[in-house]
């Protein structure tokens, strides 16, 4: 018989009527202001994003977790939220797109759905550009659209001047039963720089943290932090009918440490080029028995002694010149792949394992393990959730299984010479490599545009470790 546990978790979800309303800026500001107050903040991001979580992680000093109702069932989302938020002073969830925007008419996969699952009050960020009294009509529309979602307060964003703010506040006070909890002034200094796939990842440039400091100071000045925290703290407790285990402790292996020959070592390429990893994927590898070691494709001259390699997504095109310059690392990786090193590569990792990346009239040599060339374009070539059918001979998953995931890339495979290289998946939803197939497999390499999440694909890590153990005696 299951035991019911109750958790008093102060919590908020930051959402907006539409994308580009300033959700991330406001969320970063709130977290920065809260941490400056000495609070322990646990950040979450709705959806499969990697870039926004990198900022939220850096600002909060705690690993941001993704909550995605397309890749995770409701029980897993609630479990993930409680597991990681129960020790925090406050949990802050950043929404995505518009509050009620999902994958279907019912709003499946929306930020509103997440708010219902974790029973969280919503702060609605309204872009007030060229708008006064109409803001009240918009707020009322969101308040009354779904009674299962509680709009606890409104944050006015991009407010032009004092008169503009007075008009907005007066209109909402007159027509809406929702408090205004702050007004952020219009100004580019409150914006985080972005590029073709969204914001610039937090780890790419430490100087960008200056912008975070300014946003945090602005939040403390212009937002009613006391009222916001009061809402978060007074929300009812969350209950769950099971015990919640502690989080997995990832111990990264350092050179010089004693080696356990029975425990496979998985290298994870994590540097300014490759930073897109779900923390659950890394934790799943540890739970399956792996020791993890950080590797840089820019700084390391060779691979350390490893039994498998995980290359995540990122922006290899931005630092393509640096990747190309590290010829010794590229050559050593190619040699190890030829010897059978198990490698799992996602998106940016796929691009890196090819022969060349073409971007802005320049070409850069990559690893050359896969017979492909990749071209960068200005528009997304694949963007959204994916359904893939596993093809015969593909490791990690049984043939015929349907694998869910997400893709977001401006690159396309412009040249493919299959030879001994085979496709790994048939695309049922999404684009992948060519709209029909995704993923290439060569020897013990699987490289794919699709990003999987270990919560929805728990057997992936176990199979990766099995492959690493099988190759380990020959390493």
List active site positions: 347
Q: Is residue 59 classed as helix, strand or coil in its secondary structure?
A: helix
d(CA 234, CA 152): 11
Q: Are 424 and 432 in contact (CB under 8 A)?
A: no
Q: C-alpha angle 303/305/306, rounded to 5°?
A: 90
Q: Is 356 helix (H, G, I), strand (E, B) or coil?
A: strand
Q: Rounded distance, CA 353 to CA 163, Å? A: 56
Tally of CA atoms within 13 A in the half-sphere of 205 that contains its CB: 12
Can you name the residues that pair with 455 across neighbouring β-strands?
Answer: none
Phi, psi values for residue 458, rounded to 5°: -65, -20
State the DSSP string of 412-475: EEEEE--TT-EEEEEEEES-TTTSSEEEEEETTEEEESPBP-TTT-THHHHHHHHHHHHHGGG-
Residue 204 to residue 200: CA distance in whole angstroms: 7
d(CA 105, CA 115): 17
3-class SS of residue 2: coil
Using CA atoms, how far residue 273 sits from 88, 282, 295, 320, 351, in Å, is 31, 18, 11, 8, 11
Give me 26's structure tokens. Answer: 């406001």
Helix axes 279-287, 459-471, angle to 10 degrees: 50
Distance CA 211, CA 192 (A): 7
The DSSP code sequence of 233-290 is HTSPPEEESS--PPPP---B--TTSPP-TTS-EEEEE-SSSEEE--HHHHHHHHHTTP
| The two structure tokens encoding residue 68 | 């995605």
Q: Could you tell me if 406 and 429 are in contact, meaning their C-beta atoms sit under 8 angstroms apart? A: no
Closest by Cα among 363, 367, 386 to 436:
386
d(CA 156, CA 66) in angstroms, rounded, equals 26
């Amino acid at each position: 018989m299951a035991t019911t546990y109750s958790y008093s978790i102060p919590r908020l979800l930051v959402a907006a009527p539409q994308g580009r309303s300033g959700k991330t800026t406001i969320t970063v500001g709130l977290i920065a202001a809260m941490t400056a107050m000495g609070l322990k903040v646990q950040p979450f991001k709705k959806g499969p994003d990697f870039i926004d979580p990198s900022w939220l992680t850096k600002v909060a000093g705690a690993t941001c977790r993704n909550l995605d109702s397309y890749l995770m069932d409701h029980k897993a989302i609630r479990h993930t939220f409680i597991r990681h938020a129960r020790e925090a002073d406050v949990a802050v969830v950043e929404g995505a797109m518009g509050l009620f925007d999902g994958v279907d008419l019912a709003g499946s996969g929306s930020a509103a759905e997440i708010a219902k699952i974790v029973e969280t009050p919503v702060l609605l960020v309204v872009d007030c550009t060229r708008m006064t009294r109409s803001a009240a009509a918009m707020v009322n529309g969101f308040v009354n659209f779904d009674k299962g979602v509680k709009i606890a307060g409104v944050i006015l964003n991009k407010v032009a001047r004092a008169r503009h703010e007075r008009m907005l506040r007066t209109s909402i006070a007159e027509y809406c039963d929702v408090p205004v909890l702050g007004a952020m002034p219009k100004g580019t200094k409150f914006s985080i720089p972005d590029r073709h796939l969204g914001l610039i990842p937090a780890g790419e440039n430490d100087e960008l943290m200056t912008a975070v400091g300014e946003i945090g100071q602005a939040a403390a000045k212009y937002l009613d932090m006391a009222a916001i925290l009061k809402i978060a703290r007074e929300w009812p407790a969350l209950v769950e009918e099971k015990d919640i285990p502690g989080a997995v402790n990832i111990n990264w292996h350092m050179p010089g440490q004693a080696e356990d020959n029975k425990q496979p070592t998985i290298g994870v390429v994590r540097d300014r080029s490759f930073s897109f990893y779900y923390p659950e994927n890394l934790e799943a590898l540890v739970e399956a028995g792996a020791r993890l070691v950080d590797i840089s494709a820019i700084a390391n001259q060779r691979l350390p002694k490893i039994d498998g390699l995980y290359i995540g997504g990122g922006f290899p095109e931005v630092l393509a010149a640096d990747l190309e310059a590290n010829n010794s690392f590229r050559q050593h990786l190619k040699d190890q792949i030829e010897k059978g090193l198990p490698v799992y590569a996602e998106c940016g990792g796929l691009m890196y394992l090819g022969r060349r990346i073409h971007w802005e009239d320049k070409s850069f040599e990559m690893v050359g393990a896969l017979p492909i060339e990749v071209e960068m374009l200005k528009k997304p070539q694949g963007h959204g959730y994916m359904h893939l059918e596993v093809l015969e001979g593909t490791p990690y998953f049984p043939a015929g299984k349907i694998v869910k995931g997400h893709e977001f890339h401006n690159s396309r495979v412009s040249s493919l010479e299959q030879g001994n290289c085979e496709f790994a998946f048939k695309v049922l939803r999404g684009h992948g490599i060519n709209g029909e197939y995704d993923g290439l497999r060569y020897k013990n390499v699987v490289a794919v545009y699709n990003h999987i999440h270990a919560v929805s694909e728990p057997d992936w890590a176990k199979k990766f470790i099995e492959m690493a153990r099988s190759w380990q005696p020959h390493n």
